[in-house]
Amino acid sequence: MKLNKVEDTIIGNEGYHLEVNPSKIEISANKPAGIFYGIQSLMQMLPADIEAKVKSNRSVWEIPSVTITDYPRFKWRGLMLDVSRHFFPKDFIKKYIDHMAKYKYNVFQWHLTDDTGWRIEIKKYPKLTEVGAWRVPRTGKWNTYEGPQPGEAATDGGFYTQEDIREIVKYAQDRFVTIVPEFDIPGHAQALIAAYPAISCTGKQYHVFPGDVSGGTGPGVNVVCVGNEDNYEILDGIFSEIADLFPGQYIHVGGDEVNKEFWKDCPKCQKRMLDEGLKSLDELQSYLMHRVEKILTTKGKKLIGWDEILQGGLAPNATVMSWRGTEGGIAAAKAGHNVVMTPTQYCYLDFIQGDPAIERIQWGQYLPLSKVYNFEPVPQGVDAKYILGGQGNVWTEFISNTRRVEYMTWPRGLAMAEVLWSPIEKRNWKLFVPRMEAQFTRFDQAEINYAPSIYDPFIVTEKDQDGNLKIKLSSEMNDLEIYYTFDHSFPDKFSQQYNDIPIAIPKGASEIWVITYRNGKPKGRLLVKSIAQLRASI
């Protein structure tokens, strides 16, 4: 391994040259990050048992002879994990960062605060973790829970101490991953308000939101008062400690899904609008973001927020994370602001990736692996220099344990990694699939959970010219055989095979059972759909 004495302008700061032949293995790069990424590529060429939890008995490790020149397309190659809805321990965060680094991600956005829990110790404001980190325990379907009952203890939650944060930040730095902390204001702040009620417009005591059906205790309870001048002193104190813990240049401030209607009835907010000559509630939020950006600037940090921060006017140096489609990112880029593209329809990895009948849950849009792979971060008509890159997001309303986090991240995280690293002309779905499947064996060795949804069948219904229901069967993989039954028997390779001709429904049939095979062995999971469901889906 060697660092170049003369800079190679082709590979930049994160690229590398890798040469493997019978006499040597050599990695060269301009910067240590390039050496690191070269090692990751080298590791992927070793047999899968290099990832095993137990020591391999292999006496000889073979690597193919290769010559590789490789460098990333984008500077920002990110994954976001929400630890507010559900808290995940320090060791898992490290494991998650480890796996990100293997696939050359370099940004970990850590969603640390929301209505549902405050996860970072702030020494100046201890109630943020004493109160804000805990809620009443509930299990089941999010937004259907019973609210806190009289005298019920808030025992579900947790937080990271400042020592934990420093340890994780250093761990990430050693793997060339920058952590971007997210502290949400002025909305998604109910845990903050539960700890310090005076921060809200009402000053009333509210509970940390556990996902109950009431949405908390009413509309707007999770909104910070913009008119209360004391709040800016509190924000300054919080941001001071966050800035000290995270050496990266960005702090994410949220800014999304704010219930601005609550400010209409707040005398302090109305006075602020009058004093500052603000004509709308959007401008009131923009005023807050301008103040917050000034606070961050004094601490040597840059503001980044979700695309709602465009409303009412962007802060001068703000970076926009475009999630509600690409429109916000396009507008910000055309105004000369940097953008991270993360539109829901391609990047929300908490969305279901298979049929709800298999996944057993319906959340968000259907986001299969192939659609993630088709994500293009640079919209047409936009100067690419303003697009820092892209990011996959894992929100955790319906993800309550670490195995589920992995399942929702991988293998879609592999597709996102390739989108953000590889040149667009090198991306090819048919070539990606076998590379991805090779990683499944490595996941198994490393005991990383992943979704097999790419092998599952799915059903599309249509009507023929006579109005009769017809069924089409398919899968994301084009080399699978699909078998089906209508008689409630388990389909196998001796059942009826689908031959790309729409199927007519036999009289009396109430369900269709479908499964995929490859080379005579079952590959996908069983899909069972009622005929009534299929009729209703047209």
pLDDT tens column, 66-99: 999 999 999 999 999 999 999 999 999 999 999 9
pLDDT of residue 126: 98
Show which residues are catalytic.
114, 188, 257
CA geometry: angle at 155 spanning 151 and 160, to 5°?
145
pLDDT, greater one: 327 or 141: 327
Cα 122 to chain centroid distance, Å, stands at 25
User: 10-24, 36-50, 177-191, 354-368: which range is least confident on average?
Assistant: 354-368
44 — pLDDT class (breaks 50, 70, 90): very high
- The span from the CA of 367 to the CA of 346, in Å, is 7
What is the rounded average pLDDT for all residues in the chain?
95
| pTM of this structure | 0.96
pLDDT tens column, 196-248: 999 999 999 999 999 987 665 555 678 999 999 999 999 999 999 999 999 99
- The span from the CA of 346 to the CA of 351, in Å, is 10
pLDDT of residue 219: 53
Mean pLDDT of 343-371: 93
pLDDT of residue 364: 85
Distances (CA, A) of 152 to 155, 166, 209, 359: 9, 34, 14, 33
Tokens 């001048």 belong to 229
pLDDT tens column, 433-455: 999 999 999 999 999 999 999 99
361 — pLDDT class (breaks 50, 70, 90): confident
pLDDT of residue 474: 95
Query: What phi, psi does 345 have (nearest 5°)?
Result: -70, -10
The answer, yes or no, to whether residue 285 has pLDDT greater than 80, is yes
DSSP string, 239-286: HHHHHHH--SSEEEEE--S--GGGGGG-HHHHHHHHHHT--SHHHHHH
The answer, yes or no, to whether residue 412 has pLDDT greater than 80, is yes
* Integer-rounded Cα radius of gyration of the chain: 25
- The span from the CA of 267 to the CA of 526, in Å, is 58
Q: How many residues does the chain have?
A: 538
User: 31-45, 81-95, 142-156: which range is least confident on average?
Assistant: 142-156
First-last CA distance in the chain: 59
- The span from the CA of 501 to the CA of 115, in Å, is 50
pLDDT of residue 217: 55
The answer, yes or no, to whether residue 192 has pLDDT greater than 70, is yes
Tokens 């009413």 belong to 218
Tokens 């940004």 belong to 107
Closest CA to 453 of 371, 520, 532, 395: 371
Query: Does residue 89 have a cis peptide bond before it, meaning omega lies within 30 degrees of 0?
Result: no
- In order of start, what are the domains of the chain with their CATH numbers? 2-70 (3.30.379.10), 80-345+369-396 (3.20.20.80), 456-537 (2.60.40)
283: amino acid identity, one letter: E
pLDDT tens column, 102-117: 999 999 999 999 999 9
Determine which helix (DSSP H) or strand (DSSP E) holds 442, and give its type and residue range: helix 429-446
β 511-518/521-522 pair status: antiparallel
According to DSSP, residue 502 is labeled P
pLDDT of residue 218: 56
The answer, yes or no, to whether residue 377 has pLDDT greater than 60, is yes
pLDDT of residue 215: 64
pLDDT of residue 537: 82
- The span from the CA of 394 to the CA of 396, in Å, is 6
DSSP string, 112-143: -EETTEE-B--TT-THHHHTTTEE----SSTT
Count the helix, strand and coil residues of the chain and give each as a percent rounded to the nearest 5. 35, 20, 45
pLDDT of residue 100: 98
